[in-house]
Chains A and B, each alone.
Chain A
Amino acid sequence: MKILVGIKRVVDFNVRVRVKPDGSGVDLDGAKMSINPFDEIALEEALRLREAGKATEVIVVSIGTTACQQQLRTGLAMGADRAIQVDTEEKLQPLAAARTFLALVEKEQPGLVILGKQAIDDDNSQTGQMLAALWDRPQATFASEVVVDDQVARVTREVDAGLETIEIDLPAVITSDLRLNEPRFVKLPDIMKAKRKPLEVIPLTDLAIANDNKLTIDHYAPPATREKGIMVDSAEALVAELKNRGLL
């Protein structure tokens, strides 16, 4: 079984993102870029499944500019077998990203696609679910445990009410939550080895996907700031202040 893993290049989670004064976007000039943290977890899970003999090949996919190859190389260094960069200058919205994955699914015929539960830049949390819908296959989102047994996966999901377990027939789409696993660190020799692993570049135009029905994003604004607070020097003063404000 092949596993396809999405690797989105996003601004590093430690970077404090600021809106440009003219509202045209956010200022990412020179900001550190990384693999979306959830995608690192998705990849780790795929690698563990391969190491456990449940999968034969792990393919990492990124949709974006040549710059994404940096994150794909990291994915290869972690242990992925090969990489695909779907080359486009455009930042695809989730529906187009899902259609792109579907085109690759038809080509590669994976038993499992593991994506992140959300990308930390757009926080959309849509791509996996949309791919599952277009593919007409099961989805197990927000996964914190995955057990694959032959043609079935048993997935524990982090939901508002607690932990839900569902069983899905493969092929299927799984999206990773934070507690699914702890991704491995990349070792230096692996980085060297990764340079020799295959990285295929497919122009998005070759996949001939429909890229319509886009949302229009017109304006960026900084979030509302909260007013500066006060410091109190004792628990008594805190309780008095809360009572004073009618909160206790």
Chain B
Amino acid sequence: MSNILIIAEHNGSELSNSTAKCVSCAIETGGSVHILVLAADATVIAEQAAALNGVDEVISINHPNYSHALAATLAPEIAAIGADYSHVYGPSSTYGRDLMPRVAALLGVNQVADIMAVKGPRSFQRPVYAGNAIIDVSVAEENTVVATIRLASWAAVSGGNNATVSSRETSAEMPTHSRFIGLKTEGGDLPDLQSAKRVISGGRGLGSEENFKIIYTLASKLGAGVGASRAAVDAGYVPNDMQVGQTGKIISPDLYMAFGISGAIQHITGIKDAGTIVAINKDAEAPIFEVADIGLVGDLFSVIPEIEAAL
């Protein structure tokens, strides 16, 4: 039977929702489910991990060097502990995508990236070519399965569990060649894109940073997260962490509304799993209408006030 180790993602004080999604994938894989929390002070995070349904055990390790998630610092410990497991899972967030290949290489295996579905204990589905093809990937019996979990494909497990927490000391050597300097966040109080139930996005059609404010206003009226196309980010209307798509965030809100976004394949990749896609574009031929569940041809600058009035 499989024994699965999930690497917790957190911000130093709180467990990320992505970990609860990894647990879903682990349950589907089948076997015992353990979560490893590496933090400067892992106590609270480990408790949050232990509360997730389906988790059998939480291992927590405190170390001052774990105060920031540097892959080079974390990977040796994870590989050392992970060697005793059949599977090591992490989220396909930037945290997991940075870290897990490093762990995989230390364990001498290829990593399975972006698991969307489990076909068997060692067999998975993942997207390639910007989601234009879905492949079946399987891992040989003698290899550890090291994988990232595609967050848009998995629901978070609920809480209420009370798994045992055991704390350990670090065992692996930590390098000193990589140092954290700082983190600049700009998103403010907006709901997190990857867990928001509703997301309102703007594209190049917004025309300026100033104009983009109408997207924020509508979003706050709807309690929605705010996303953007690459063109809007590149043009400096919004910060990079709002980019949705193949090279940005892959999201799966119940409702996705795209304003002034043409619908390039790289953007669509990021929203394919949305429950309902709404597109507002002044060009009736825009490719976004091919994937939209509800489309409206119109000028976003007049449509947005009309939507607000009709709410």
Q: List CB contacts (< 8 Å) of A186-219 with chain B.
A: 213-219
Residues of A within 8 A of B99 (CB): 129
B residues lining the A interface (CB < 8 Å): 11, 70-72, 75, 93-95, 97-106, 108-114, 127-140, 143, 175, 177-187, 194, 198, 222, 230, 233-234, 239-241, 246-247, 249, 254-255, 265-266, 272, 275-278, 280, 289, 291-298, 303, 306-307, 309-311
How far does the alpha carbon of A235 sit from the alpha carbon of B154 in the complex, in Å?
32
Stretch among A58-66, A79-87, A159-167 lining the B interface: A159-167
Q: Counting CB contacts under 8 A, is A71 at the interface?
A: no
How far does the alpha carbon of A117 sit from the alpha carbon of B306 in the complex, in Å?
41
How far does the alpha carbon of A144 sit from the alpha carbon of B140 in the complex, in Å?
36
Q: A159-B241, A167-B178 are in contact. List 13 more A-B contacts (CB 8 A).
A: A94-B101, A95-B109, A129-B102, A158-B241, A160-B241, A162-B183, A166-B181, A169-B177, A218-B135, A220-B135, A229-B289, A229-B294, A241-B294
* Chain A 124-156 interface mask (CB, 8 Å, partner B; 1/0): 111111111110111111101000000000100
Stretch among A13-21, A47-55, A106-114 lining the B interface: A13-21
| Contact (Cβ within 8 A) A232 B296 | yes
| Contact (Cβ within 8 A) B306 A26 | no
Residues of A within 8 A of B306 (CB): 234-236
Known: A142-B94, A162-B239, A163-B184. Is A235-B303 also a contact (CB below 8 A)? Answer: yes
Partner of B234, one of A121, A168, A179, A222: A179
Q: Counting CB contacts under 8 A, is A221 at the interface?
A: yes
Partner of B130, one of A123, A131, A214, A233: A123
| Contact (Cβ within 8 A) B240 A242 | no
- Distance from A215 Cβ to chain B, minimum over Cβ atoms (Å): 5
| Contact (Cβ within 8 A) A126 B129 | no
Residues of B within 8 A of A240 (CB): 310
How far does the alpha carbon of A235 sit from the alpha carbon of B303 in the complex, in Å?
6
Known: A16-B132, A216-B140. Is A133-B233 also a contact (CB below 8 A)? Answer: no
- Distance from B231 Cβ to chain A, minimum over Cβ atoms (Å): 11
The number of residue pairs between A and B whose CB atoms lie closer than 8 Å in the complex comes to: 258
Residues of A within 8 A of B94 (CB): 141-142, 157-160
Residues of B within 8 A of A241 (CB): 294
A-B contact pairs, 29 of them (CB 8 A): A94-B101, A95-B109, A98-B105, A120-B130, A123-B130, A126-B101, A126-B110, A130-B101, A133-B101, A133-B106, A139-B178, A142-B94, A159-B95, A159-B241, A162-B184, A165-B181, A167-B178, A213-B108, A214-B110, A217-B135, A217-B137, A218-B135, A219-B135, A222-B134, A226-B272, A226-B277, A229-B294, A234-B296, A242-B294
- Distance from B94 Cβ to chain A, minimum over Cβ atoms (Å): 4
| Contact (Cβ within 8 A) A161 B294 | no
Known: A222-B134, A238-B296. Is A144-B240 also a contact (CB below 8 A)? Answer: yes
- Distance from A28 Cβ to chain B, minimum over Cβ atoms (Å): 10
How far does the alpha carbon of A164 sit from the alpha carbon of B134 in the complex, in Å?
32
Residues of B within 8 A of A230 (CB): 293-295
How far does the alpha carbon of A223 sit from the alpha carbon of B127 in the complex, in Å?
8
How far does the alpha carbon of A164 sit from the alpha carbon of B182 in the complex, in Å?
6
| Contact (Cβ within 8 A) B132 A226 | no
| Contact (Cβ within 8 A) B241 A165 | no
Closest 3 A/B residue pairs (Cβ): A235-B306, A129-B101, A133-B105
* Chain A 224-248 interface mask (CB, 8 Å, partner B; 1/0): 0011011111111111111001011
Residues of A within 8 A of B222 (CB): 248
Q: Counting CB contacts under 8 A, is A178 at the interface?
A: yes
Q: List CB contacts (< 8 Å) of A1-54 with chain B.
A: 11, 13, 16-19, 26
- Distance from B221 Cβ to chain A, minimum over Cβ atoms (Å): 10
- Minimum CB distance partner of A27 in chain B: B133
Partner of B129, one of A17, A218, A233, A236: A17
Q: Count A interface residues, CB 8 Å.
A: 84
- Minimum CB distance partner of A132 in chain B: B102
| Contact (Cβ within 8 A) A222 B133 | yes
| Contact (Cβ within 8 A) B106 A120 | no
Residues of B within 8 A of A16 (CB): 132, 265
Partner of A163, one of B103, B179, B240, B255: B240
Known: A17-B133, A166-B179, A219-B136. Is A123-B127 also a contact (CB below 8 A)? Answer: yes
| Contact (Cβ within 8 A) B128 A122 | yes
How far does the alpha carbon of A160 sit from the alpha carbon of B139 in the complex, in Å?
29
How far does the alpha carbon of A168 sit from the alpha carbon of B178 in the complex, in Å?
5
Partner of B97, one of A121, A125, A222, A227: A125
| Contact (Cβ within 8 A) B294 A221 | no
- Minimum CB distance partner of B297 in chain A: A231
Residues of B within 8 A of A94 (CB): 101, 110-111
- Distance from B56 Cβ to chain A, minimum over Cβ atoms (Å): 27
Partner of B138, one of A126, A142, A218: A218
| Contact (Cβ within 8 A) A19 B183 | no
Residues of B within 8 A of A118 (CB): 247
Residues of A within 8 A of B187 (CB): 161-162
| Contact (Cβ within 8 A) A213 B101 | no
